[in-house]
């Protein structure tokens, strides 16, 4: 069923249409929520709350953009709300990494699996993780991120840079351990 027909049926209260909308977007939106939240149960909570908002606000969807983009926006905001409830987004200066901050992740000879990268992102401190997800994965600008998270634009830039530096170190460490394991396995 095309999005316009699906939205119309959902607005009329069709349970079958609501189920179809949920089944169409839930797997992808759960993955999105998992990028922001460390625990499966938090991501599932954000997903459920997000879909409640989707169905409650479906009358506001004007069809100017894609339905998926509209649902994604609601889910991002709900994941951030859940993150705010669970963890503080403000990092003290003492907690921040000081030193040279790289802007790009190193190229690794070993190809990392998506699950490895997701795990590394999930291990980031809450503030870094939120900014990294919004900027690097969702494509929001620093002014947009600052407004969404209630932080300054400078803090957004700083936390993105620090998140990239942390990820760079984690990827390098993972690459090093994989290379060492590979070398030991082939020496014997």
Task: Kindly report, residue by residue over 77-125, the tens digit of the pLDDT.
Answer: 999 888 777 654 333 333 333 333 333 344 443 345 666 777 888 889 9
pLDDT of residue 91: 36
> What CATH number was assigned to the domain covering residues 93-187?
1.10.10.10
pLDDT of residue 107: 40
pLDDT of residue 88: 44
Domains of the chain, by residue range, sit at 3-86, 93-187
pLDDT of residue 11: 92
pLDDT of residue 95: 38
pTM of the model: 0.60
Phi then psi dihedrals of residue 116, to 5 deg: -65, -45
pLDDT of residue 138: 82
Alpha-carbon torsion angle 67, 73, 76, 78, nearest 10: -90
Which positions of the chain have pLDDT values less than 50? 88-111
Class of domain 3-86: mainly alpha
C-alpha 4/C-alpha 67 separation (Å) is 9
Q: Which of 59, 32, 52 has the alpha carbon at shortest distance from 122? A: 32
C-alpha 63/C-alpha 49 separation (Å) is 22
Contacts of residue 104, defined as CB under 8 A and 6 or more positions apart, other chains included, come to 164, 168
pLDDT of residue 115: 67
C-alpha 24/C-alpha 7 separation (Å) is 12
pLDDT of residue 97: 35
Q: Which of 169, 12, 151, 19 has the alpha carbon at shortest distance from 89? A: 151
């Amino acid at each position: 069923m095309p999005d316009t027909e699906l939205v119309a049926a959902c607005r009329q209260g069709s349970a079958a249409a609501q189920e179809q909308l949920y089944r169409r977007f839930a797997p992808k939106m759960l993955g999105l929520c998992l990028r922001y939240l460390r625990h499966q149960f938090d991501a599932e909570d954000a997903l459920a709350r997000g879909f409640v908002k989707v169905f409650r606000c479906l009358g506001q969807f004007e069809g100017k953009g894609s339905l998926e983009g509209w649902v994604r926006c609601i889910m991002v905001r709900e994941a951030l709300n859940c993150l705010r409830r669970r963890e503080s987004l403000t990092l003290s200066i003492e907690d921040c990494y000081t030193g040279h901050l790289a802007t790009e992740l190193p190229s690794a000879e070993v190809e990392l699996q998506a699950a490895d990268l997701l795990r590394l992102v999930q291990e980031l401190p809450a503030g870094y993780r939120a900014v990294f997800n919004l900027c690097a994965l969702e494509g929001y600008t620093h002014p947009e991120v600052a407004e969404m998270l209630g932080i300054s634009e400078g803090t957004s830039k700083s936390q993105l840079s620090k998140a990239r530096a942390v990820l760079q170190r984690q990827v390098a460490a993972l690459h090093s351990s994989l290379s060492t394991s590979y070398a030991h396995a082939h020496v014997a």
